Structure 1
């Protein structure tokens, strides 16, 4: 997120923007994997509740399951591209 830092922002917001810019790719990747894991756990929990006969809407369970599935597929594609890029770099002649 890009925000203009000016004199009209309180000091706490300026510090928050500055701390957001310090996070690197590793931290971004860690947060993304944690989010994928959270979606998987939520989908699993809703599925178990539906199977147990609790009053859960089937649509809610299906949406949560699809979100988790799409997030996992995206994660796998990013991993595949990273491995492919690594292999390409290793094939380069110095």
Structure 2
């Protein structure tokens, strides 16, 4: 999970989520998908948005350095948005791991 701090790690994780989403599903999972979006689709959409914000930030940085972009304020706003999105993704990951560990440590 430490690989989620890089863009490539997030992309690899997103690919893994997609393969899990296309694997065999039970009847209950099929019903939940038919009635609405599943958790994996929400998570995949969130990672897609994060990748888009990161790519926009990278392109804006390149444009600022090369002189194609002259508005530093807008570039800083988009950088802050990307940073906040990444921090949110890391916190969601931490909460998911914490919940997983809590379930794993339950005694029946």
TM range (shorter): 0.7 to 0.9
Q: Which has the higher contact order (CA 8 A, sep 6+)?
A: 2
What is the alpha-carbon root mean square deviation over aligned residues?
A: 1.6
With structure 1 as the length reference, what TM-score do the two structures score? 0.76
| TM-score of the superposed pair, with normalisation by structure 2 | 0.66
Higher Cα Rg: structure 1 or 2?
A: 1
How many residue pairs align between the two structures? 76
SS in 1 for 2:81: helix
Structure 1 or 2: larger helix share?
2
Give, in whole Å, the separation in 2 of the partners of 1:58 and 1:82. Answer: 36
Q: Which portions of structure 1, spanning 4 or more consecutive aligned residues, are displaced by more than 6 angstroms?
A: none
| Unaligned runs of at least 5 residues, structure 1 | 1-18
Q: Which residue pairs with 1:37 in the alignment?
A: 51
